[in-house]
Structures are given as structure tokens and as C-alpha cells.
Structure 1
Amino acid sequence: MALDAGADLLVLLAGTRVGLWLQTYERLLAQLDGSTTESAYKRRADRLILPQPEDILYEQRADPTRYLQRPLARQALRADRPIICVVPKEDDHLLMLRRFLADVISEKHLDSMERPYSIVVLDDEADDASVLDSDHSQKLTPRLISSLWSGDPDSSATRHKNMLATYVAYTATPQANFLQASHNPLSPRDFNASLRIPGATGGIEPRSLSYSEPLGIRSYYCGGNIFYERLRNAGDGAICHTSEFPEIRPGETETELAGRHEALRWSMLSDALRCYFVGAAVRSLAPGWTRAFDHSTRYSSQSEARLAARGAHTMLIHPSARKEDHFQTALDVLRWTMATPGCEADVRLDEENEQPTTISPSWLERRLSQEETEWSAWLNRFEASRIALATMPRAPYSSISAADWPKVREALVEKIFPNVRLRVLNSDPGSDDRPRFDVTEDGENYRIPADSLSIFVAGNVLSRGLTLEGLTTSLFLRGAAEPAADTQMQMQRWFGYRGEFLPFCRVFTYKDQLELFRRYQVNDDALKTEIMTSMDVGKDNGNSVLVLQGEAFVATSKVEARRAPLSPGPRPSIRLIETKDDDLAQRNLQVAVDLLDDGEWLPLTDDDGLERGLIRSTPIGPMELATVLDRLRYSHHAPNLSDELSRRWENYAQLLGIDRPLFTPPVQRAPQYGAEPQSCPYSIAAYLRLWSHLAGDCSAPGFFPTDRPNIPWNFSDTGAASTPKFYIAFRHGQKNVRDPRLASKGVRAVTRGRGPDDRALQTLWGTRGYGNSYFGDEFVDYYFHRTAPVPSIQGGATWRPRGHPGLALFHIVSAPDLPTDLLTVGLGLPHGGPDHIAALRP
């Protein structure tokens, strides 16, 4: 589209690894240019592609000093033909491309042009290497990218008035791009867009995460919703199989724990391999698949070999990021094929072989005969998946019967075992070892793709866009000390267009890891939904996009970010006080007067008959309480609406379709927050409005209840729950209040210490109530409404149970050195409110 619109130069920045660069190049030829490595030269009159296929797709790969051919580029420039450059995001390649462009598209040439020279830079996997992590980062890659049009790593403007540049970044995991230092010229500024995926439902207006695909499930993109939720309760038909990660037991030694862990790893590997082999055998019996995995047959033409190949059936084992673990795991696969079941660790191999790839068919046949029951059980499991998926539109799956086991067994021995291949794809950036899914030449003949029936053991090289065709079985054993959502989302290579063979797909991993995957998916959907909502309203939201993380993981490890929980916690206290502006202090006291003039107020007495304060006989709703909190005013706290902490409320409203503002601080100029959001009356008011909105049947992607952090808001019973009511009370102290209106109501002032800057109290909550004599100020309202059970204050901050009323406990704080006493308030929130954790710039 860019070239059709008249762009002169298209720069496609491929991945940082050679394998991904070459995959991108081959896809550009096939999907954009409509050519092959053999026919690409025939279209030189239409465009110039650099490098030329012969310069990088063959064994003698040219370096950038040679593949950026200046004579060809100058010819294209004179003929006004567009130029396409496909280069990896490696600094040396970018440096040479910058010099090449400065030389070929010279100042003299730009001076002579009657129209601007247009450059479009497409940055594939834009969160990989293109992110600037801090203002002081010495990272060079982003600067070299911008220098392609500026000519100077320290400048982002085009180097000539007759040159225009457009930079478009795309990635499946943009968290780091949104959170990076905003001075990076590559940070998103002008627009954001999210692509929809083909699925069962969805329209254009309003945009949804998917669009309706008329061809049915065979053409659906199978992502987290299908893998993690659709068959979650399908029993044997579930796609994800999990195991509990071993934790040390009482009295157990570290050696015994390691032994249990090792036994579980062998068990998971065994189950995954059996699943993979049996699935391949069943597929080989389908019409037209007779020779799909036969690597010995030669064909006279590419089309004949491609027709025979039908499709790949592959497996991925992801043990860790360490390259040595990849080879060790490949050796373990060999041990498994050779071992008596249960004795895999006893097999001794010659580990001098650095890349073990040869699997003996006889070993596999012997293993099959020793545990045939475990192998044949997979037929019933695949059939359970088929039945669970049968209601999907145009499901193409044939019945799988346990009675077919003899035919499946024969296919295993004759078709699968002789052709399976074991491949190690290491994570060395200089490696060009990549999966081979194209028909291969064999002299004058052709064979089916070399990796049509391969088991891949890999790590980071498959965590960044490199595609495994026909991936059916995934064994994910990797963990992380501090999981990052964007990195682990990229590791989920089982996502893709799997609809044709979905009943055979399985993911084997640990239970806690699967829960992380589920949370990543929820947050990912929330991010996409927010962007799509902004597209619907025609708003260019630049980089003001809300990025979520979780209690157990960060959004990204590529940049520093701070955690900003949504919920203010179980007992937020507004300790702000106004000591500088007496007009504002009197305005705050007016809030107390107005409260006491509204409704019936009764003495609040504990079980010993001691009067602790006053309480309003009937509670108010969260929207009413939010209005009260918004009336408070401070000279040192009036949050700026452009602050990132403030803008997130606008994000929430946009995401959830809320028409009225949630966050309504006073319109004043303030450099920053005078208090954290958990102590800001306007933030707490916004939270109460949000909670009120989410009560009932409301979609809230990315949210979860405070008492169920592992359950998305829409998956729990929160939709049917109502928001809490709040009792309003005043706490009595030992001092007389000076305002006669308050004194007439019987209010007495409390004594509290003030902070050194006189802007906030040192503490708000008073009597803690340890022991059985008093519930404590946080739960003083329970003496009035008598809701059971009464929470215990012991052990720190305690939530009120879900369904209990909340509390807003106001305090008149004695200030004899000031003209007016001070007003503060502490709140008690019950469990069950919405929460999520935003990642914000530090």
C-alpha cells in the first residue's frame, strides 16, 4: 500500500537474529512481491530489492558492505523505481545502511527533486532492540534507526527539507514500546492500531478483538482464548495439561526434592512425546496424507512434492534459555527412545556428539511395545477434543475411534518412526539454523520439506517470531525468577492458525506457569481493547495507553516501570491537611457540617457503653461518597490531569465505555501529586465510581476482584454482585472543637501528630483495639450495624469480607495553632472490588 501510494523507499527492519531476518525476507518475496528466490530478478523493472536473494539466501552470505549495491540503487533512482531494503536490526547493518542512503540519496539529488522523497520504515518485532530504556541509555540501535532518515544518531528530523519519513512499528507485545523513555524518536506518538484476528464472532463497528470468519474454525487464529479457556473444563479433551511444580515437603531433603522434580520432568516428557507421535500417526491415515511424512521419496517437480507434503506435524520442547540445556534435552529425548519405561536416567550416551539428531525407529518400536496402553490412550483424548470442538463453525474433524488403534500402530511403525527428526535450534545470534518448511531440491528431483515431522528443542531463538509450521505438541518447562509478560507471551509459539488440526494440539507445562499465561492473555486483551476503543472514537492516543502487569509478574523487563495498583487497599487513609490556606480549611470543615445536617445521626457506642463517636443511621452509596470526597480541597494537592497517574482514569473510562469522567480533581495548577493515589481523595472517589459502574453485567478486560486475583473480573460472580453501601461516622476525641456548628452536634476533636512539612498527618487511625475489648477504629461501625463476622485487626491491614458494608470515618483534628481545625477521613473497603496493576514510567 505504501509503494502504491508513491513511497520511494521502503526499509523493512527484520529481527536481530539471522534466522528471523531470512524468514522475513522469504515472506516478503512470497507474500508482498509475489516472487521466489529464482524469479525475483524478473521484476527489477518494477522495484529493486536489496539485498538480492543470491546475496543472502545461499551459503556464501554477503555482508552489508557488499549486499547494499550502490550501482543498482542509482539505476533505480534514475528510473524512479521504488527501492526495498530488508536488513536486520544489528548495529553494523544499520550503520552501513545509513551510509548507503546518505551516499545514494544525496543532498544533490534531493535538491534537484520537484517533490519530496518519501521513506517508510517498517520495524518488525519493534520491542526487540528498538526500545530506549532510559533517558541516559547508551543503547545505539534506536538512534541508528532514526539516523536512517536524519543522517545523525543524535537527531530525529529528516536531513533534508525534501525528504519525508514515516516510521511504523509493529509487534505482538508492545508493552516496552509504550513504557520506554518518551524522548526516544521511535516511541509511539501519532497513532496506535490493533489488528483483529479471525474468529467466530466480531464486527467492525464497534471494533472487537476478532472478526467473523465465514470459513469456520479451520481459518481461525487460535490464541489464548481457545488454548486456555475454550476447552478448560473438557477433561481428557483439554488442550493444556498441567503438573504441580514440586515444592519441598516437611522433613524432605533437597536431594529427595530434586529426585521428585526429575521424575516429574521425565513423566511430562514421556506424555508429550507419546501425544506427538500418536497424533502424527492418526493424521497420516487421513485421505491424501499417505506420503505426507515420507522423506525418502523423490519427486520430479516442486508442485508434485508440495502436493504430497500436505502439511507439517511438529513438536517444541522449551527447557530453558541456556543453550547447553537444549542439547542436554535433545539427549534426553534420545535416552527416552532407548530406555525401558521408568529407567530413562539410567541410559548412557556418548555426549561428545554436540547435535544429536538421529532417532532409531527400532528404539521407538520397542518402547511402543512396552507401554502400548499409554500410547493408545491418546486416541480417546483426541476424540474428546474433537467432540468438544464439534460445535465450532464448520468443524472439519473426523471421528477418532479407539478401535482404529491397530491401523494407528502400523502407521507409527511404518510411517512415523522412520521419518521423525530431532532438531536443536540454538539461540546464538550468529546462527542461521532455522526450520525448513519448503520443498527441498535433491539434484534434479525434489523432496518434501525436511522438517515436516520434526521435534524442535529450542529457547530464545523461538521466542521472537520464528515460526514452527504445524506445531501440535509443546512442552514448556521454562521458568523465570521474575516473569515478564511480553517475553513470555512471545514464547507461546503454539498460538497460530491451528484450526485444521486443533484436536491434536496439546501444551504441557506446570500449573503455575499456565496461570501466568492466562493472566498475560487477559492483560493482552485489555490492551488491545483499549486501543481498538480509541480507534472507534477516532482518537489518536499517542503513547497514553495503559499497560497492565500482575502481582506475580511485570509487564516487561526491557524498561523500568513502577507498579500502580488500582485498588486503594482495605483501609485507605486521607491524611492530607490544609494548614496554609484558611479558606480551604474552612471549606473542608463545611463538608463535615453538611454531612451532619443530612440524615439521622446516632451515638456510636461500643459493647462497654463507651461512646466512640457519631454514626449516620442509614448508609450511602459509593457514588454519593465519591461526591463527598471530591469536595475536599488542598493548596498543595490538586493533581494535574496530564500526569500519567491521572490519565489512567481516562484510559479506564475509554476502555469501559463510561461517558462521565471518573477522576474529577479541582482545576488547579500543581506540579505533582501531594499524596499517593491510595491517599488521594479524588483517586479514591474515582475508584468508587468505577466500582459502581462495574457492578452488574459489564465487560472489564484486565480487571480482577481484590479477593480473587487469579480470576478475571468477568469470570467470577462479581458481575451479579452489587457495590457496597458505606456508613458515615465521626470519631470522638478528647478535645473540644472550635466550630460551633460541629460542637452543637456533639463532635469532639482528636489529637494527631503532623508531618514536618505540615501537609499531612503522621498517622490517622487511632485506637487499634488489640484484645477483645474493642474492635478498633477501623471496624467501629460494626458496633452499630452488627454484620457478622467482625474482622480481626490483628496481623496488620485487614479487608472487610465481601458483602459487608464499608466505612468512611471522619476526624476533626485539633489545631490550636491554626485559625481552623482540620478535617481528615479514613475508609474501610470490603473485598470484592475491582483491581488491576498498571505499569507506569518511573
Structure 2
Amino acid sequence: MLGVAAKALDAGVDLLVLLAGTRVSLWLQTYERFLAQLDGSTADNAYMRRNERLILPQPADILFEQRADPGRYLQRPLGRQALRAGRPIICIVPKEDDHLLALRRFLTDIITDDYLAARVQPYSILLLDDEADDASVLDSAKSQKITPRLITAIWSGDPDEAATRHAKMLATYVAYTATPQANYLQATHNPLSPRDFNAALRTPGATGSVSPRSTSYTEAGGVRSYYCGGDIFYERLHLSGDGSLCQASPFPTVQSGEAESELSQRREALRWSMLSDALRCFFVGAAVRSLDQGWENAFTHDRVYPTAESARIAAKGPHTMLIHPSAKKEDHFNSALDVVRWSSSRPGREAEVELGPDTDSSRISVEGLARRLLLEETEWSAWLGRFESSRMALSTLPKAPYAPICLAYWPAVREALLTRVFPNVRLRVLNSDPDSDDRPRFDLTQTEDGFSIPADSLSIFVAGNVLSRGLTLEGLTTSLFVRGVAEPAADTQMQMQRWFGYRGSFLPFCRVFTYEDQLQLFKRYHANDDALKTEIIASMALSEASNGPALVLQGASFVATGKVEARKVPLSPGPRPSIKLVETDVALAKHNVDIAVNLLDDGLWVPLTDDHGRQRGLIRSEPVGLCRLADLLNRLRYSHHDPSLDDELSQRWEHYARLLGIGNPLFTPPMQSPQEYGTDPQSCPYSIAAYLRLWSHLVSGHTAPGLYPTDRPEVPWTYSDAVGAGAPEFYLAFRYGPSLARDPRLAARGVHAVTRERTATGQSLQTLWGTRGYGGEYYGDEFVDYYFHKTHPVPSIQGSASWRPRGHPGLALFHVVTESELPNDLLAVGLGIPHGGPDHIAALRV
């Protein structure tokens, strides 16, 4: 974002507005980064470049003791001076309504219509919206939310208008976020919704190229300079046992005969166990790092240095920990007190420690930590072996800088714990409560006597929602995430994963402690995020017209976002989709029956009899492949069902093709009279055909970000044994009814029609499948083909819609339907689909 800002200023943009999040901590973090990384100044010397640009607020207005309100820090005299001198104006403001209102008034007052009319060149505005999914999303046209409208009013002057307020004013709005789900799903009437371009920034890693563009690029500096995201934390070391970066514990659920009190005790015991393991990991990691050359005083807070440079050299880098207990502020303080209890107690007796009402929630007992180390030294020293396991697993990465961690080092590590780590660790609560801190402190501390290392060089942070935005925890090594929520939202929980970042130089010491179900959610979020980035990157290589919003995915147990209402649309049509659509128009009905007639002329068809010798229908002796069945379904025609390609349900197939690099279209409806869907996608023959084509493409080994097999939703498709397992084949069959078909061609082949009731509209059947097969004496219609191909075991539909096992053949069962008041036969199709096909859940607008 700052790089784009720099290029825009170099190109002569007149006004740069940075919307720096909704929280004070994020606003100040962005402001300080702007000064250091773009302006090349500090809060103390920024005034020295005032003849080159105007920055509002001035550093003194927000970075020192008293923060000025927007009515004071947006100084009109300074703005008018900058305009007269032709200097760019840079406004860095939080995305809060009062700040946005004040900014609009400020700009209206100084950039007047008379000033604009007198200009030769248009006045150019670039607005960069950081964390654009936070407050900038408009969920509906009737929403009373004002923030997005106040943003557009910065250039329009009116919250109800989107165009610039003068012909000689040009405005560009660029939204930045790591989680754009809500931005893509929001109503398009929001002027801030993505319209003209979409771009995904690549991250430095071990692989990647510019052409074809990929989600990462090869970083020549090696792992030290890698961005460590979900691929590192969730995939690379997931089979490394104790060396895995994610340590998950099963969340205790009630056992047979267990009382509620016993379940509560087990959960409490696990909570203390996870906290204990995480704290030991954090402390031992800090001690090992303190033994590296030059790290002797990296955590010593009481030492004063004569110059900032000498303090910076001594500091080396922070080593921090995060505890995320819940969204409630009181839970943050309680968790901090738990750390205090842990540091003061004997192992296993943490809950017995009584703290007074005036207990300092940030005071960790140094003596208590030393006692714990003595009493459970085996548990502490075990972390050396775990760190070494991680180091070995990561040693194959380019330019891995990690030295071996030997158990023989334990005496030195133990001494470092007692003398360098325990006396210097700090405990901090970060939230909006007045009794907590507003943000971490990673800058040098200056006093009258000199300079000290940053206050948070060795800190344990307890926080909640303040970490669900872009607040950075430098040097984060250990994370304990025990937050629970009824219906998780992927975008919010993705933002909470503060352990992602540039951790390459100390990666073996990084750990995430959480529950197994939460870790599975994190992995799904990562897979869906990877799919979103992959599609956007693929679209960047296409024409401008094709560079539209990407498909947003969600999951069965989580939503993509809680900011915008969305519907869940699964990719797979399920185990036994029914095409219950029927056509009564004589010409189209005959067309569909012709498909059945022609099908009977293709291949050898034999009687389909059950174990009692009763004929249940006809079956083709040889099965057909996925694409052949897809083409067959695509030939069906209906006057009331011809889905438009502009419908979101249809457009998702374009997204899949773009994501997977499929050249030919997957979804090919007739397009004779495009209209709204006449049935849901799981009963649409053209959608089912598109699914079969997609499955055929994927079994040949193509990568499929965000997809997973229907029977193993926890396993990404790319890593599953579905890849290369071969495509399933489908048997084609006709279901027999009580009387011969009316069409003489079908009757001549012995095809019997079934009777079914239609819905009130007459456009579809109320039910399709007939014989259910309850009781086990015979197979139901869904599995009637098992009489022929004899595959075992035969599924049962007892009590639910069972899937055919992976590797079993599928079924397409054609039903010729007759009604006394109709002159012609109708055709419907029921399918039995085996497990193992691709699946995911798309999030589409309601």
C-alpha cells in the first residue's frame, strides 16, 4: 500500500488519503510506518520536510501525550498554504465517522469550486482504504450504515452521491484487505464495491514465477525472507509430530455416563495443560535464542545505552507470545491472571492459587517460575528436542539459517531461563479497556539517561478482537488460540491468525496451540483463501472485461463472512440427485424422448432382473464415462428451464474454469431462451453435467485450490488419493413401470412407463425415486444396477441417503413417465453418484 502511495506521489497526485483502519492502535501503526517507510522521517523531524508535502495530522497531534480531535488536527491554514504552493496533501485518518465527516468538510472548505475551475489540470485524489472489509462494506441498499457513504463523500461532497463534485476533480479508490470475502459479496450498489480491477499481491517464498503468475515468488534471500502463511504452518510440517508448528488437542466432549461436573473438570484440566505447554514453549525458545551470539542482552530492559544505535544493536529482535481466549474483555484480564497463577503455583495446582482483588494482572512471579522449572524440568527440557525436530524438517528450505539444538545445551538454557528470561518477561493485555494497553511497543525507549531496548522485546500479549485487524505482533513465536464461536466467519478468523508473517529467521521456535476442530477450520480457511488468490491471479492475465470479482468459498461449519448475508451453494449435487423437471410441450417432450430412443440404439441393452427373477428394467451392459454422461444430460430441453449465463449460479462455473485453467466451458445450457433457474442446481441437468466435466478434469492430476473430496472434507483435493485414482463410470438403465410406454419406439423395445404425480405448476415431478428397498429383501431404485455389476458391498438407504462407496460405478436411471391426460411420454432422470468427487461450498449473494 505504501509502495502504491509512493508511486502516486511521484506521479504528481495532489491529494493522498490513507484510511488507516477503525482502531486507534492500527491508525497509529500505519502513521508511524508511513513516516518511517515512505516519508523517511520520524515524529521528531517530520517538520523538516514541510516544504515538500503537508501531512495531516501533524505528528505532534496524535503521537504524543494528547491526541487532537479531527476538528483541530485538520488545519485549514496549512491546507490552503499547501494548495497555493502546489504541494501534495497527505491525510492519514482512521475510518471513523467523525473523522470522515471532518475530512469532508476540510476538503470542501479548502478545495473550493472556484479553485477547481481555475485549474488547468484536474485535481487528482487517491484514496487508499486499509482493511477495506472493515466498515467499508455496505450489506444492502436499505442499510443505515453510513461509513461507506461518508467515504464517497470525501470526493463527492454528498453522502448520497458517488461522482466527484466537480468536473476538474478526479478520484481513484483502492481497497486493501487480506480477506475480501465481504467486499466481493456486498451489494453492487455500494460505490466502494470492486468494479474496475482486482489484484492479488504475491508473497515471497520458495517457489513462484512472474509468468505464469503464481501466488508466491521465489525469494533469493531464502527462508529468512519468506512470508510464512498457511502453507508453512498448516501443510509443510503437518506430519512432523512434535516438530509440527501446530499442536492441536481434541476438545473434550461428553462421554457415556459422564456427569456435567466431570466434563467441566476435564475441560479445565486441558485448558491448564495447553497453557502450561504454550508457556514452557515460549520461555525455552526465548532462552535458546538468548544464547546466540549478540543476544546476551536482547531481553534486558533495565540496561541503558548512550545511543539509539547501540540500543538497537543490543535489542536484536523481539520474542513474543499471544494468548487469544475470547472476544470478551473481562476474559482477557482473567487469562492474564491465569498466567500470574501459573507462575506462582506448583504444577497441577494452578486453580488453587487465590489472588486478591488488587492483584496486578501483569506481574509474573520470577521466583515462582524458577520453582516450576525445578519441579518439572523434564517437561521444560523436552522442548529442545521438539525445536530440533522442527529445525530438521525445515533444514531443506533454501538458505536455512538454523543451528542444531542439542539436548546437551540444557544446562546453559536452564541458566538463561533463570537469569535472562524470567526476570525480563512482561505480561500485557491489549484491548479497548482503559486499564489495558492500546498497542504493543516495539520501538526503542528513550529516557533522560539514554536509550533502552523496546518495552515489548519479551512480552506475553493477551488480546481478542483488537488482533482481528492488521495489528502486528513482531517476533511472535507462540500462540495459544482457545477462542470459540457458534458460527465462525472465515474472514474474521483469518485476520486473527497473527502468527502469519515474516517468521523465517526463527521459524523452528514457532508454535500454535489450539483445539483440533479449530485447527481444521484454520486449514479450510487457508485452502479457500488460496483458491481466491489463485483465481484473482489467473484473472489478472486475462482481458480487462474478464477481471471481475472471484468466487468466494465457505464451508459446511463456517460462513465466509458475517458482514454480508450469503447463501451456501455446494459444488457436488449430492449422492442421488434427481432431475425431476418434465416437459409437456409436445415438440420438446418428443425431443427428450428421442434422446431415450437414440440411447437404446447405442450399445448392448439387457434385462435388469433382481435376485427373485423379477425384471426391474433395462441396463446398458457397458458403462459410460463422465464426459459422455455429461453430454447426454446436456441434450435435455425444457421451455421453463434454460439458465442464463448472467446468473451467479451459472457464473460460478466460469470461476472454476478460470481457477483451474480449463479452456473449454464447463456449463453449457441451451441458451435458446435464457431465463432464471427453473430448479435448484442440484436438480439442474446442465449443472450436473458441468460437475461431471469438472470431475473428469481433476482426476488427471490438476491442482484444485479450495476443493476437497466429498468423503474427506478435511483433506485438500490436491493431497488426496482422489487425484490419479481414475474417473468413475456410470451404468445407464431404464426403470420399468406397470404399463408400456406410449411412444411406439420405446414400447417396441419393451420399455415400461412409470406413473408419477407432478407439482402444481406441472413443470416437475413431486418425487422421482420409487422402490426404496427397506427391509433388505431387495435393492431400492437408487442401487438397482448392483443386481447387474455385482459390486460389493451394496450400499443401504436405511434411514438416510447413502453415498455409493468410492470406486463403485455410478448410475443414471431414466424414467419414462406417463399421465392419462397427456398425449405423450415424459422423461426424467435419477443419478447415483459415488463418493470421491470434488466438492466445496460457494458463497453467493442472497
- Is this a same-fold pair by TM over 0.5? yes
Contact 1:16 1:429 in 2 (8 A): no
Residues 447-480 of structure 1 show CA distances to partners (whole Å, capped at 9, x for unaligned) of 1100001110111111211111100111111111
Give the match's secondary structure for 2:692: helix
Q: How many residues align?
A: 840
Write out per-residue CA displacement over residues 666-704 of structure 1, whole angstroms, 9 at most, x where no aligned residue: 113443100000000000000010010111211011110
Deviation of 1:428 after TM superposition, in Å, equals: 4.7
Q: Give the structure 1 partner of residue 562 of structure 2.
A: 557
Instruction: State yes or no: 1:611 paired with 2:631.
Output: no
Alignment of 1:838 with 2:837, yes or no, is no
Q: Is the 8 A contact 1:19 1:432 kept in 2?
A: no
TM-fit CA distance, 1:542: 5.4
User: Are 2:796 and 1:792 aligned?
Assistant: yes
Match of residue 370 from structure 1:
375
SS of 2:42 mapped into structure 1 = coil
Q: Which amino acid aligns with 2:540?
A: M
Letter of the 1:381 counterpart:
R
* CA displacement 1:135-175 (0-9 Å, x = unmatched): 21111111111111111111111111111111100111111
Q: Deviations over 1:614-650 (max 9, x none)?
A: 1111111111111111111111100000100000001
Residue 696 (structure 1) aligned with residue 700 (structure 2): yes
1:21 and 2:18 equivalent? Answer: no
Are the counterparts in 2 of residues 17 and 430 from structure 1 also a CA contact under 8 Å? no
Cα 1:24–1:540 shift into 2, 3 Å: farther
Residue 176 (structure 2) aligns with = 170
Residue 104 (structure 1) aligned with residue 110 (structure 2): yes
Query: d(CA) in 1 for partners of 2:408 and 2:788?
Result: 70
- Does 2:648 correspond to 1:644? yes
Which residue does 2:234 correspond to in 1?
A: 228
* Selected match of 1:512 from 506, 509, 517: 517
Name the residue aligned to 1:601.
605
Tell me what 1:83 maps to.
89
Provide the C-alpha distance between the structure 2 equivalents of 1:51 and 1:215, rounded to a whole number of angstroms: 37
From 526, 539, 542, the counterpart of 1:537: 542
Which amino acid in 2 is paired with 1:779? Answer: F
Residue of structure 2 in register with 1:141 after alignment: 147
Contact between 2:390 and 2:508, CA under 8 Å: does it hold in 1? yes
Deviation sequence 1:232-258 (CA, Å, 0-9, x none): 111221111111111111111111111
> In structure 1, what is the equivalent of residue 280 of structure 2?
274
Which residue in the other structure is 1:471 paired with?
476
Which residue of the other structure, out of 584, 594, 600, is the alignment partner of 1:590? 594
Pick one of 485, 498, 502 that aligns with 2:503. 498
Residue 753 (structure 1) aligns with:
757
The whole-number CA distance in structure 1 between the counterparts of 2:800 and 2:383 is 51
Greater shift after overlay, 535-544 or 7-16? 535-544
Is 1:724 aligned to 2:704, yes or no?
no
The 2-side partners of 1:451 and 1:266 are apart by 25
Q: 2:397 aligns with which of 389, 392, 404?
A: 392
How much has 1:430 moved relative to structure 2? 11
- Please say if 1:380 is aligned against 2:365: no
Match for residue 207 of structure 1? 213
Query: Is 1:809 the equivalent of 2:837?
Result: no
Cα distance in structure 1, aligned partners of 2:473 and 2:777: 67
- The partner residue of 1:416 within 409, 418, 421 is 421
Residue 328 (1) aligns with residue 334 (2): yes
Aligned-partner Cα distance in 1 for 2:302–2:783 = 78
Where does 1:45-194 land on structure 2 (aligned, <5 Å)?
A: 45-194=51-200
Q: Is the 8 A contact 1:18 1:431 kept in 2?
A: no
Deviation at 1:350, TM superposition (A): 1.6
Contact 2:731 2:812 in 1 (8 A): yes
| Whole-Å separation in 2 of the counterparts to 1:432 and 1:360 | 21
Change in CA separation of 1:429 and 1:562 when aligned onto 2, cut-off 3 Å: farther
Contact 2:626 2:693 in 1 (8 A): yes
Per-residue CA distance 1:191-220 (angstroms, 9 max, x = gap): 110011111111001111111001100000
Task: Quote the offset at 1:421 in angstroms.
Answer: 0.6
In 2 relative to 1, CA 487–456 (structure 1 residues): closer, same or farther, beyond 3 Å?
A: same
CA deviation string 1:599-621 (max 9, x = no partner): 11111111111111111111111
**Farther-moved stretch of structure 1 (664-673 vs 261-270):** 664-673
Q: Deviations over 1:653-674 (max 9, x none)?
A: 1111111110000113443100
Aligned residue among 719, 738, 742 for 1:738? 742
Which of the residues 783, 787, 804 maps onto 2:787? 783
Tell me the secondary structure at the aligned position of residue 798 of structure 2: coil
> In the alignment, what sits opposite 2:768?
764
Question: What is aligned with 1:681?
Answer: 685
Give me the whole-angstrom Cα distance separating, in 1, the residues matched to 2:616 and 2:198.
55
CA RMSD in angstroms comes to: 1.3
Cα distance in 1 for residues equivalent to 2:198 and 2:690: 26
1:544, CA displacement in angstroms? Answer: 3.4
> 1:393-472, aligned counterparts within 5 Å?
393-428=398-433, 433-472=438-477
Aligned with 2:829: secondary structure? strand
1:762, 1:833 → 2: CA distance?
27
Q: For 2:723, what is the secondary structure of its paired residue?
A: helix
State, as a whole percentage, how many aligned pairs show the same letter.
70
Alignment CA distance shift 1:683-1:428 (3 Å): farther
> Is contact 1:17–1:431 with CA below 8 Å preserved after alignment?
no
Is 2:37 the partner of 1:37? no
- SS of residue in 1 equivalent to 2:155: helix
**Could you tell me how far 1:336 is from its partner in structure 2?**
0.6
TM-score (norm 2): 0.98
CA contact (8 A) 2:536 2:549 kept: no
Q: Residues 190 and 541 of structure 1 are in contact (CA less than 8 Å); yes or no, is this contact kept in structure 2? A: no
Change (3 A) 1:29 1:125: same
Displacement of 1:511: 1.0
Instruction: Give the SS at the match of 2:81.
Output: helix
- Partner of residue 342 from structure 1, selected from 322, 341, 348: 348
Residues 242-301 of structure 1: CA distance to partner in whole angstroms, max 9, x if unpaired?
111111111111111111111111111111111111111111110111111111111111
5+ residue gaps, structure 1, are none
CA distance in 1, matches of 2:380, 2:740: 82
Letter aligned with residue 86 of structure 1: I
Paired residues of 1:18 and 1:429 also in contact (CA < 8 A)? no
Checking the alignment, whether the CA contact within 8 Å between 1:427 and 1:460 is kept in structure 2 is no
- Deviation, 1:816, is 3.0
Q: Could you tell me how far apart the structure 2 residues matched to 1:541 and 1:431 are?
A: 48
- 2:263 equivalent in structure 1: 257
| 1:256–1:81 Cα change, 3 Å | same
Distance 2:722 2:62 in 1: 56
Match of 2:553 in 1: 548
Structure 1 residue matching 2:595: 3-state secondary structure: helix
**Contact 1:199–1:220 (8 Å) recurs in 2:** yes
Residues 1:297 and 2:303 are matched in the alignment? yes
Sort the Cα spacing of 1:537 and 1:323 in 2 relative to 1 into closer, same or farther, 3 A.
same
Q: Residue 808 of structure 1: SS of its match in structure 2?
A: strand
What SS does the corresponding residue of 1:526 show, helix, strand or coil? helix
- Displacement of 1:540 in angstroms is 4.8
SS of match in other structure, 2:18: strand
**In the alignment, which residue of structure 2 is the partner of 1:774?**
778
Contact 2:586 2:824 in 1 (8 A): yes
Q: Distance in 1 between matches of 2:435 and 2:212?
A: 45
